[in-house]
Amino acid sequence: MYDSMLDWKQQRNGQSALLIQGARRIGKSTLVEEFAQNEYKSYILIDFAFAPKEVHDLFKDISNLNYIFLQLQLIYGVQLYTRESVIIFDEVQKQPLARQAIKMLVKDNRYDYIETGSLISVYSSSDKILIPSEETKLEMYPLDYEEFRWALGDTSTIPLLRQAFEQEISLGNDVHRRLMRDFRLYMLVGGMPQAVVKYIETNNLAAVDLVKRDILSLYLEDLNKIDSSGRASIMYQFIPAQLSKNTTRYQVGAIMQGERQDRIEGIVKKMADSMTTNVAYHSNDPNAGMALTADFERYKMYVNDTGLFITLSFMDKDFTENVIYTKLLNDKLSTNLGYVYENMIAQMLRATGKELYYHTIPYHDGKKFYEIDFLLADQFKVSPIEVKSSGYKTHASLDEFCRKYSDRIQNKYIIYTKDLHKEQDILHLPIYMTMFL
């Protein structure tokens, strides 16, 4: 993210504001302030959640920018320098007029501008303002696995893994077991910065779990802003239960009697936009342009962070009752808990900027389905991914998909919990290498 922000500063040179989009508690404010400290001569940070009334009132009339800049410098005790200072609008959804003012502020070109805010709230507060076109948007996600390793002081593992992936080198059982142990810790802690910091400070997963529960409570509050009837928050809470059923779609009727998919399509879209939720849509005709054949009434939902997912699975119970912690730590996660890995893969693919799609093919009897868990647009073709538990023997779904769409296949992947190896034209990848796809 920092590198992307540097690119924006150097390439746009004040011709657009930067809007950091993302869910709450992923570190947007911390990142932006550090960037401002390092890359500018001075900065003013306006946190609209706590800014005094006199600051809010400045944006009611922006006809005199000289007056506004003078007032901001006096209120915050900071001197601004032309083309060497940045003004940060933190929690910009709390003052929509400030976001609307971006058009004039960018045109003035004296200073740079960075906006941050919870994406749900940014959307919900933008109904009555003119959205500026002078915005460069960046999506920010929870810490990915490489960033998690950085937090633990390890900067060498991921570059070495990338070499192994690119050269398709097996790592050996002993090394692989150690790498899987390290990766399972990432799954348990997750990538929310507060949770990672708490783990580093305490080495205590119970303390980490409390942090994640607080974050989930905030997310549920945010989701209620999407839909005051509470349907969005209910759907979010039932994501683990829906995935555990191993069905080919999220079944809304199973959690809200009488509800139909076509009536909540807009809510699902807003949940995806909130970035608290990763949504995989069914591609009815998988090809390089999967968005063109996406079925918006057939989808699967994943939590944006697998650490949060694990806590959400047992939100109504005590930490000690969350069997996933114990089983993952001891590498005893049973096949019926394999959906935890599926959520992790969805998270890793989204963190690399990929949209999520999947595909099903009915059996001859019409009652069961072959399912490809994820599809990647790969050059002008498609690369299917089948997710497997460690004890698998066959890959019937992948075989059937490749038979049916043989002229569209670029690469074939199985993601699982064993070491890398290639079997004919299928690359079997350990889950921690998903980030390289």
| pLDDT value at residue 288 | 83
Three-class DSSP category at 143:
coil
| pLDDT value at residue 379 | 84
Q: Are 17 and 98 in contact (CB under 8 A)?
A: no
Pairing of strands 85-90, 294-303: unpaired
Three-class DSSP category at 384:
strand
Q: What is the pTM of this model?
A: 0.91
Q: C-alpha angle 148/306/400, rounded to 5°?
A: 115
Three-class DSSP category at 243:
helix
| pLDDT value at residue 84 | 98
Each residue's pLDDT expressed in tens, for the chain with a length of 437 residues: 999 999 999 999 999 999 998 898 999 999 999 999 999 999 999 999 899 999 999 999 999 999 999 999 999 999 999 999 999 999 888 899 999 999 999 999 999 999 998 655 555 555 555 667 789 999 999 999 999 999 999 999 999 999 999 999 999 999 999 999 999 999 999 999 999 999 999 999 999 999 999 999 999 998 998 888 899 999 999 999 999 988 889 999 889 988 888 888 889 998 998 899 999 999 999 998 899 999 999 999 999 999 999 999 999 999 988 888 988 888 888 777 789 999 999 999 999 999 999 999 998 777 789 999 999 998 899 999 999 876 666 899 999 999 999 999 999 999 999 999 999 999 999 999 999 99
| pLDDT value at residue 394 | 81
Q: Are 434 and 416 in contact (CB under 8 A)?
A: no
Sort 333 into a burial class: Cβ within 10 Å, 0-12 / 13-18 / 19+. buried
| pLDDT value at residue 125 | 53
Cα dist from 286 to 372, 384, 403, 410, whole Å: 11, 10, 13, 12
List beta partners, residue 47.
90
Domains and CATH numbers, the chain: 2-139 (3.40.50.300), 145-436 (no CATH)
| pLDDT value at residue 390 | 66
| pLDDT value at residue 122 | 53
Q: 177 Cβ partners below 8 Å, 6+ apart?
A: none
